[in-house]
Copies of this chain bind each other. A is one copy, B any other.
Amino acid sequence: MASKSNPKDRILETASRLFYAQGYNATGINQILDEAKVAKASLYKHYGSKDEVGIAYVKAAREDWFNALNSFLEKKTTSSEKLFACFDFLERNLRINDFKGCRFINLLAEISGQNAEIRKEIVDHKTTLRAFFKNLVTDIITDKATASQIADSIFILFEGAVVESKIHLDVWAVKAAKKTVTILLETYK
């Protein structure tokens, strides 16, 4: 990876991997430095503290997540196809990441209300995802109020599927959620 020649990027990439795999609190600065092969002074030059690494982590993760989603949906043409493909994307991501679940939900469980900036990024990310679903569903269901309600249901199904897949180390929840989306769309189309 070319970006790994740069210490600042190396820190963020290593921190991202470790925060996701071990948790934020369970990952120490020293482990990040060891694995990124970066000196401690470099970390505190580029980022002022561990919390700022955490903020950079969640911001980068937001961008990466939507980039990956949009890239996955690129081939799909209709909103309906895109909607269903979101669940395929989810399934693929869960498998790739060994069912570690959602970075944002995991992080929020740890920091809770302590770090306001991290919390805000997480809330904004999920608000964006909710709006993303709403846009897609609005293309399919004409009645605005109905579209909004169904979109929220799909969003909630999506989120529930991530969480349960992490718990059970299986994608049955994703498949069940996707099937339910079919039912909901059929009902109001």
Chain B nearest CB, measured from A181 CB (Å) = 10
B164 touches A161 (CB 8 A): no
Q: A23-B112, A109-B109 are in contact. List 15 more A-B contacts (CB 8 A).
A: A22-B112, A23-B25, A23-B110, A105-B163, A109-B110, A123-B168, A152-B172, A153-B176, A153-B180, A155-B160, A156-B160, A159-B163, A159-B164, A163-B163, A183-B187
Query: How far is it, in angstroms, between the C-alpha of A153 and the C-alpha of B177 when the chains are bound?
Result: 6
Query: How far is it, in angstroms, between the C-alpha of A23 and the C-alpha of B109 when the chains are bound?
Result: 7
Q: Top 3 nearest A-B pairs by Cβ distance?
A: A160-B160, A109-B109, A156-B160
Q: How many residues of A contact B (CB 8 A)?
A: 43
Mark interface residues in A155-174 (1 if CB within 8 Å of B CB, else 0). 11111110110111000110
Query: How far is it, in angstroms, between the C-alpha of A126 and the C-alpha of B187 when the chains are bound?
Result: 29
Give chain B residues whose Cβ lies under 8 Å from the Cβ of A2. none
A156 touches B183 (CB 8 A): no
Chain B nearest CB, measured from A38 CB (Å) = 24
Q: Which residues 60-98 of A sit at the B interface, judged by CB distance below 8 A?
A: none
* Nearest B residue to A101, CB-CB: B109
Which of B155, B167, B172 interacts with A164 by CB under 8 Å? B155
Query: How far is it, in angstroms, between the C-alpha of A176 and the C-alpha of B168 when the chains are bound?
Result: 25
Chain B nearest CB, measured from A125 CB (Å) = 9
Chain B nearest CB, measured from A109 CB (Å) = 4
